[in-house]
Amino acid sequence: HPADKAGQDIIKKIVEVSLMPQFIGKIVFIPGYDMALAKTLVQGVDVWMNTPVRPLEASGTSGQKAAMNGVMHFSVLDGWWVEGYQEGAGWALPLDNTYDDQSLQDELDAANIYNILESEIIPLFYKREKKNELPIEWIQCIKNTIAKVASNFTTHRMIEDYQHKFYIPLYERNNKIIENDFALAKELSFWKKRVRREWPLIEVKSYIKPESSKEEISKGNEYYAEVELIIGDLKPEEIGVEMVFASKDKNNRMRFLKKYDFDLVSFEDGIVKYKCIMMPETAGVYNFAGRIYAKHPDLPHRQDFDLVKWL
């Protein structure tokens, strides 16, 4: 990029090194990269390596083109490769940074790159069958790349995703909303007004949960939570209750891990009881809290109605 002075300096250094006597013929810098040149490159290389700074890779379409030609990809798990990587059809550097200091991370990534090249990629390329001198395992990786990676990054697959995940559901929902003179749209509008009016009146009568909001959780053990709510004119099925588990990452930011839904137990005289049995799959120290939210079977998603109350 014209504004990337650091990148330009790196390229300049590579060109200078490629002209050193000991590297003549071993490093080739090809200027004027365009679609025509890319067409030749993707048909004539064995490994396509891309090492962006996490998480700044926008996509990595050059690697997708290479995969279409059976070229194995070797990259950071960023951009398209975080979705495309398949074991036995390419190689990858870890998804997350180990260090906050980028210079330290660069050193670690460089060491990992050399290690993977020297211990995995190059030995696999030169591993030949005695019968025919063919690199059978390498050829299998090429086949895996075409079958498992390239086939998943086509316009056909993209259109299928849009069609089945978005267009058809939206079309069906639109028809449902507008039929009978927009009956469902009117019903949802009145429902939202009523629930929004009643929401501030919800009271917590009792709440039982694990002893601390920061408790050591043992894998395989059951943990019980129960809440009684005074819901006034609302119906029990209009309220969802859940326990949310999260943990702090190395930057002290809260990361969602898992949620457990409460089941309706009883409803009498405007008081509704819900309970939840949780069995964490991993041990550790978590932050967890219960919350209630407005629920309706015809809402398209949770974010469509913003009412939430933390317990």
- Listed by start position, the domains of the chain span 32-153, 201-310
Q: What confidence tier does 120 reach under pLDDT thresholds 50, 70, 90?
A: very high
Regarding the domain delimited by 32-153, which CATH topology (the fold level of the hierarchy) does it fall under?
Rossmann fold (3.40.50)
Q: Would the CATH topology of 32-153 be identical to that of 201-310? A: no
Model pLDDT for residues 1-34, shown as the tens digit of each residue: 788 888 889 889 999 999 999 999 888 888 888 8
Q: Which two tokens stand for residue 92?
A: 């990858």
Asked if 203 contacts 230 with a C-beta cutoff of 8 angstroms, the reply is yes
Q: Which two tokens stand for residue 107?
A: 């050193």
Cα 27 versus chain centre, distance: 36
Asked if 279 contacts 224 with a C-beta cutoff of 8 angstroms, the reply is no
One-letter amino acid for residue 137 of the chain? E
Model pLDDT for residues 33-92, shown as the tens digit of each residue: 888 888 888 888 899 998 888 888 888 888 888 898 899 999 999 989 998 999 999 999
Asked if 296 contacts 238 with a C-beta cutoff of 8 angstroms, the reply is yes
201-310, which class in CATH? mainly beta
Residue 291 φ then ψ, to 5°: -150, 155
Predicted TM-score (pTM) of this structure: 0.64
CA distance 49 to 84: 14
